[in-house]
Structure 1
């Protein structure tokens, strides 16, 4: 296994490419493989190369609305080879939690879209309406869920019905911009009922456990673009992780990452799967790697030198994390421009 960092200001090191060190890549979708309707540049080729190296690739998502076959079809449209068995959703992870506790045939109130209904049925459970006798309620993103259904479910949760939530994502990407996600509904139900749900999706670990269960892998690697779901989820599951910078994480988010949000590895994009990863060298007060040197002076990050763009991000991250751990304050990044 890699030299995984402890909860400290460091990155892991791998002398061999990650697609040879790990046997399963668990790829988050939005921000990693695609952004909106388009593939991330180079992503189809990088996925294919990882597979050629012998790595199994799974596509995992907190989105409980779409069935795996629909997700796989969309990936194929973008040039990424995938079938339904390569896709694991938070709906499937939630259904597993329900089935393991309740058993086959148990009636479950389903508050969500078709992907959640399909997962519940596939797990051998029986979806029922919000007024029907049930042993649990499971909720997920569903744009067509009615307010009267939410009200009835809220009362039943308050009165003791077991509740599983697919995820707690507060936002959801749409073609018209970022919109409220299922996490907003979870907060509404939680505040009304005083009940915390069992959560299936990242950063909780059931989705990652379900992926390993379905796809195999003795040495899995989580690959994501979000610190607070993908990377925190990997930490919670005790897994190594690769953060890519093709999604929501930029310099401001990276330098402010608390220890539990820090990845094992860092790369601009999925090309990082087919590369070795060297950890920066720390020699007070400098952090250096591949021609780049990062320091913090007067609370401000400074990076000088030249070389590979990934190494720039690595020295910047480690220098910033060391400062954050020492002082409790994120570094200033005004005037700092990443290469490329």
Structure 2
């Protein structure tokens, strides 16, 4: 890596999360369309990789195009596809799958030659569960009967929350937790943070060196780590700077940036590590921070991460006005 290398010059594909990374509900995140066009212009393959199993790839494309984001069906990888495939790999052709999820998930199951049903019977060989706003007690009850009856259980993803324009709402993981409590069973997981979804997306792009981009440490970044891919955390969705300081090793990104436009920035500037103008040291039970003038808060965050991850200390304390202002901008409003 040289000083002039950007992320787009180092990686041949970008595997983009959607919710919280590309859009919030019906609203695109500012600057995302331009960043994706820039990625294509640099020759990088683009894949839209979502844990949301409620939409078919064609619906995802329609949504993206309505936001002036170019997309093709072949560029979309959903956890519904990954969940259906994971079940298919464990079953024989024509076997019965009880689907807890949207019509899009039913379509993916049936496309693989399996029989999809909504109600339990003794011939149900597997349960596949994905996010669907229409999921209710009846659907969970049928799935509980099947799982207790010995059916295999596949969860498309286990995101506990779903970011929307209204805030965080219950995700598929919340519904999975209900079935886990009711059955004592544990599902096989297809979507992030498990590796299958990201690896399938990378293979579809013919990528040799893909970059995973997302807003959640526990799914996007952990999925990248599990798949063995470098990753970029963008601070436009769920995970916060405070979350990042406390991240476990399996949830730590390679790069951190405020937003997706950083794909065109020098890669060295986005790496975790010390930064000119910021001094971070461990002082008793806090990270003491000082700066020598107006500095970028994102630069400070990368420096904080290095010391926090090495020391295990995640409380921060400002030692001057520059640090106090930067920490407040990162959401550390209680910094002394």
* Structure 1 length-normalised TM: 0.87
Cα distance in 1 for partners of 2:142, 2:89 equals: 25
Partner SS, residue 316 of structure 2: coil
Aligned to 2:314: 330
| Equivalent position to 1:118, from 98, 101, 107 | 107
Cα 1:176–1:46 shift into 2, 3 Å: closer
Give the Å deviation of 1:72: 1.1
Cα distance in 2 for partners of 1:313, 1:156 equals: 47
Cα contact 2:14–2:211 (8 A) shared by 1: yes
1:293 aligns with 2:279: yes
Aligned to 2:27: 38
Give the Å deviation of 1:64: 0.5
Matches within 5 A, 1:87-126: 87-126=76-115
Q: How many residues align?
A: 321
| Equivalent position to 1:316, from 296, 304, 316 | 304
Cα contact 1:281–1:289 (8 A) shared by 2: no
Cα distance in 2 for partners of 1:131, 1:14 equals: 59
Aligned to 1:266: 256
Structure 1, unmatched stretches of 5+, are: 3-12
Cα distance in 1 for partners of 2:116, 2:147 equals: 16
Per-residue Cα deviation, 1:171-208 (whole angstroms, up to 9, x for no partner): 12345432222112211211221211101111111211
Per-residue Cα deviation, 1:28-83 (whole angstroms, up to 9, x for no partner): 11111112321111110011001100100111111101111111111111111112
Cα distance in 2 for partners of 1:142, 1:256 equals: 31
Cα contact 2:27–2:165 (8 A) shared by 1: no
Cα 1:307–1:118 shift into 2, 3 Å: same
Per-residue Cα deviation, 1:132-188 (whole angstroms, up to 9, x for no partner): 422211111122234223212202201211111111111123454322221122112
Structure 2, unmatched stretches of 5+, are: 319-323, 332-336
Partner SS, residue 291 of structure 2: strand
Cα contact 2:218–2:251 (8 A) shared by 1: yes
Cα 1:18–1:281 shift into 2, 3 Å: closer
Cα 1:330–1:92 shift into 2, 3 Å: same
1:76 aligns with 2:60: no
Cα distance in 1 for partners of 2:3, 2:11 equals: 11
Aligned to 2:187: 197
Moved over 4 A (4+): 279-282, 306-309
Cα contact 2:234–2:258 (8 A) shared by 1: yes
Q: Identify the range of structure 1 (100-109 vs 231-240) with the bigger mean alpha-carbon deviation.
A: 100-109
Aligned to 2:289: 302
Partner SS, residue 337 of structure 1: helix
Cα contact 1:252–1:333 (8 A) shared by 2: no
Cα distance in 2 for partners of 1:339, 1:146 equals: 38
Aligned to 2:334: none
Aligned to 1:59: 48
